[in-house]
Structure 1
């Protein structure tokens, strides 16, 4: 991270509290086209690698990556804001405790319906936890336009179920087992209801694969989809730009903290 800030000449930049401004929405047309986009692509590529250990910048990096083909001055300013945020949180990271905790597997799944104002495709995100530590996360655009918030949320529940199933399989190979049935926490009532409803609604036929994939695991008691309030949805920080107070509250709950002395 320090090398990245030095390379971009941002190691002494004024810090900011969030990686993205809550009042600005990036679009393809915002700003003036950059003639030489090499620096932008280099910095954003490095940020993409850094997001593997920093879930707090996952959404911002995902947005910046969508303008690689034709970045503008506005996109470049947004990239520098992420660097300014990192300059102020250089001591932050995920802390893994060595204390014995039952290896319960659970995840948070969320989607920002039609969040991209260029094509109205939703952004989905999940965070998978083993005990109290986040071990996997993702923030990315979905494959196509969702016709309702329930559809967008349920698609992300399906993607989260895939990741949870893979982690559970890996744990089994290592001789570990979850202390309880893996749970996906979703803040959409419709998506939660669909995962437990044995009747397949005709209006959801275009989601048949996602529906039956999740339903199969729920019926086999290999997975549980639980409803939570939007206030407690930790994956919300990976689907949209948030005000400072809300962002910092969620990031602290996710598990990002100052590094402990060695």
Structure 2
């Protein structure tokens, strides 16, 4: 901080009080959030309890939703008049730049087909940029995110000085970091692979780098993939699926949890994550994965409730393991599960309360399968279609 020219100079131990937040300060984001909240509250909006970066206006027949990312504000409503009114009211408090209907948001392209009542999101340009950045713009495409027979492990990390030198100039960490945004925003089909590769960022070996190159080649062949949301035949607001790969990590023996939640035909939430404990059986691994999925289901129920939707009916969570399903519904197989931490029994309570209903689904129909293991090309194509991805 420096004084404006013309002000009286003071000694170095003099403290100046900043009366207004400046862009770039550590607390600037918080100050801006509070200011925006104050204005939106005066306009009749309520900030969601379960998501503090979203405001909603529910009055009579009007429903207006405003999600905010820093200072990028999106306004969603069925009424164009309502949207225009909110713009005019915000313009009285802030300097606005109206970009019109949302076609790009945080690097994600948004396309609408109003005749088919569908909306698609994609990151083709972002994918092209990272391919160019890491030298894969002209690579040959492949059909899988990871070779189905490959199991990456710490044994593949450099163990000799020459192997360490070989990897010194390889941008492994930067490449995997760049792929993360693609995996969390629009490409659930690569989420498991990116998560697996990220485990070796501290000391990657050439085998790990070859797996990164394989993933880039897969992205090269799927540049035109879009997540498409259109009406589905289901009577549910959203559909949920969970799966697990027992002892998939060769280094720790831990399992991978995966879940995907769809609204209409497309996935809106997904996760592929290594479990925090070592599961002693497939039943245990599937049950722990179902707990993680159940937490996301409950958050989504809260979100939709605050949006004004009726979610009084139980949300169905589909699982492909009958033993895990039995454990979630009743205290069956208790002898094999009694060592689990008490927090994992939370799911059984939610089932008993009627907020989550566990259902069995055949493995062949399980879209979360691609989030827990490497699959062959025919199965990848099948899973991609289930997730709502396509050209």
TM-score by length of 1: 0.92
Q: Deviations over 1:116-142 (max 9, x none)?
A: 111111011000112332110000100
Pair 50,127 (structure 1): closer, same or farther in 2 beyond 3 Å: same
Summarize deviations over 1:31-52 as a string: whole Å, max 9, x none: 6444426611000001111101
Cα pair 1:37 1:70 within 8 Å, conserved: no
Task: Give the direction of change, closer, same or farther, for the CA distance of 1:98–1:185 in structure 2 (3 Å limit).
Answer: closer
* Larger Rg belongs to: 2
Q: What's 1:110 paired with? A: 243
CA distance in 1, matches of 2:233, 2:340: 40
Q: In structure 2, which of residues 138, 142, 154 is the aligned counterpart of residue 28 of structure 1?
A: 154
Pair 1:143 & 2:295 matched: no
Alpha-carbon distance in structure 2 between the residues aligned to 1:149 and 1:99: 32
Counterpart check, 1:195 vs 2:321:
no
1:102 and 1:178 in contact (8 A); partners too = no
Q: Distance in 2 between matches of 1:237 and 1:194?
A: 24
Paired with 2:252 and 2:379, the residues of 1 have a C-alpha distance of 27
TM-score by length of 2: 0.63
Aligned twin of 2:302: 169
Name the structure 2 match of 1:43. 175
The alignment partner of 1:13 has SS state of: coil
* Residue 233 to residue 210, structure 1, CA distance change in 2 (3 Å): farther
1:246 is matched with 379
Q: CA deviation at 1:98?
A: 7.2
1:33-72 correspondence to structure 2 within 5 Å: 33-35=163-165, 36=168, 39-52=171-184, 53-72=186-205
Structure 2 contact 266–389 (Cα < 8 Å) conserved = no
Asked whether 1:7 is paired with 2:133, we answer: yes
Tell whether 2:207 aligns with 1:207: no
2:353 to 196, 207, 220: 220
How far apart in 1 are the matches of 2:193 and 2:371? 8
Alignment CA distance shift 1:97-1:77 (3 Å): same
Deviation at 1:210, TM superposition (A): 4.3
**Per the alignment, do residues 24 and 196 of structure 1 end up closer, same or farther by CA in structure 2, a change over 3 Å counting?**
same
In structure 2, C-alpha distance between the alignment counterparts of 1:105 and 1:162, rounded to whole Å: 14
Please give the alpha-carbon distance, in whole angstroms, between the structure 2 residues aligned to 1:108 and 1:234. Answer: 7
Residue 130 of structure 1 is matched in structure 2 by 263
Bigger helix share:
1
How many residue pairs get aligned? The number is 258
Gaps of 5+ in 1: none
Determine the C-alpha separation between the residues in 1 that align with 2:203 and 2:171: 12
The higher-RCO structure (CA 8 Å, 6+ apart) is: 1
Cα distance in structure 2, aligned partners of 1:54 and 1:210: 31
| Aligned partners of 1:110 and 1:126 also within 8 Å | yes
RMSD value, Cα:
2.0
- Structure 1 34/80 Cα, relative in aligned 2: closer, same or farther at 3 Å? farther
Cα deviation for residue 97 of structure 1 reads 2.7
Q: Residues of 2 paired with 1:101 and 1:153: CA distance?
A: 25
Contact 2:316 2:359 in 1 (8 A): yes
**What's the CA shift string for 1:162-214, capped at 9, x where partnerless?**
00000110111111234842111111111101111156824322225344311
Q: Is the 8 A contact 1:102 1:179 kept in 2?
A: no
Look up the SS of the partner of 1:126 in the other structure. strand
